[in-house]
Amino acid sequence: MSHLAADQIHVDIIEIGAFKTAALKQSLLSIANAKYDGIAVVGLQTSVITQPLNTLRKQGTVIVGLISDLPVEQREAYIGIDNVAAGRTAARLTGRAHAQKPGRIQLIAGSLEARDHQDRLIGFREVIHVDFPNIELLPTVLTRDDADQVHHAVSAALTADPAVTAIYNVGAGNTGLVKALKHRSEKKRLFCTVHELVPHTRRALINKHLDIVIDQRPEEEIERTLTILKALLDNRMLPPLQELVPTIYVRDNLPAAYHNPSPENRH
C-alpha cells in the first residue's frame, strides 16, 4: 500500500481474533479516540458494536463494511461479493455432484453473527430445498473458524453419521477439515466445498481432499475499499464498479501460486 503515500493516504491494519466481539468493540472505541477519517470493518451482526459505530459516525468517520457487511444504517458502503449467491453456487455444484442420488450434507460455519456466513447458509439452503429435495441438510456446526474446532467437529460428525455424502464449510479453519478427512477410517469419497483460495486450500484441491474452492478475490476487495473510502472522504461521486463475482476453482484451473491476502483469519 506504499503507493498511497503519493495521495497523502496512510493506512493502518488492526488485527482482531475471529469473532472476538468484545475485542472488536474495544478496537472501534480506540479508533474513535484516534480520529481516523475512514475505516473498513469486517463486520459482525451484533448490537455490541452499535454504540462505537454510532460514535464514529457522529464524529464524521466514514465507515465501509468489508467482506462481511455491517447493518446498513451504520455504514456508507459495502465491499464484497453477494454471499447469498455464493451459497447458492456452492449448493448448485454440490447438488449436481450427487447425480440425483440421495445425500446428507454437513454444514459448517464460524458464527451466525457473521453476515457473510449467514448469507451463504441462506443461499445454500434455498437451492438444496427447492432443487435437490432428496438431499438432507444436517444441522450447522459452529466452529468460530478455528482449525482445531473444525477438525474435532468434522471428525465427530462423520463418526456419528457415516451416511454423510458432502461437507460445505462457509467459513475458515479448513486445515482442520482436511486433517479430519485424511484420518477417516471410512474411505468413502465425500464432496467438499469451501471458501478462499489460500496455500492450504490450494494444496487440498491438488491432493483431492477438496473439490471446490470459491474465492472472493480479496486483493480486489481491498483496492475497491480504498477507492470508495477516498471518494467518500473527498465528497465525490462513487466511481462505477462492476459487481464482484466470486471465482470457482477446481484442481484443473488453479492460477499460478501467489500470496493471496485472504480473510482466512478474520480481521
Read off the pLDDT of residues 57-110 as tens digits, 9 standing for 90 and up.
999 999 999 999 998 899 999 999 999 999 999 999 999 999 999 999 999 999
Distance between CA atoms of 40 and 45, rounded to whole angstroms? 15
Residue ending a domain, among 198, 215, 232, is: 215
Q: Is residue 197 part of a domain?
A: yes
Q: Is residue 255 part of a domain?
A: no
Domain, as residue range, for 51 = 2-81+218-241
In the chain, the number of structural domains is 2
The answer to whether residues 47 and 150 belong to one domain is: no
Classified as helix, coil or strand, 255 is coil
The answer to whether residues 49 and 165 belong to one domain is: no
The answer to whether residues 133 and 233 belong to one domain is: no
The residues that bridge with 246 in the sheet, in sequence order, are none
The CA angle 26-32-34, to the nearest 5 degrees, is: 105
Q: Where are the beta strands (DSSP E) in the chain?
A: 38-41, 62-66, 77-79, 103-109, 135-137, 141-142, 166-169, 191-195, 212-215, 247-249
pLDDT surpassing 70 at residue 156:
yes
The answer to whether residues 155 and 110 belong to one domain is: yes
pLDDT tens column, 77-90:
999 999 999 999 99
Q: Is residue 246 part of a domain?
A: no
Least Cα distance to 257 among 199, 174, 195 occurs for 199
Q: Is residue 49 part of a domain?
A: yes
The answer to whether residues 60 and 75 belong to one domain is: yes
For residue 149, the model assigns a pLDDT of 98
Pairing relationship of beta strands 103-109 and 141-142 according to DSSP bridges: parallel
The answer to whether residues 137 and 232 belong to one domain is: no
R_g over Cα of the chain: 19
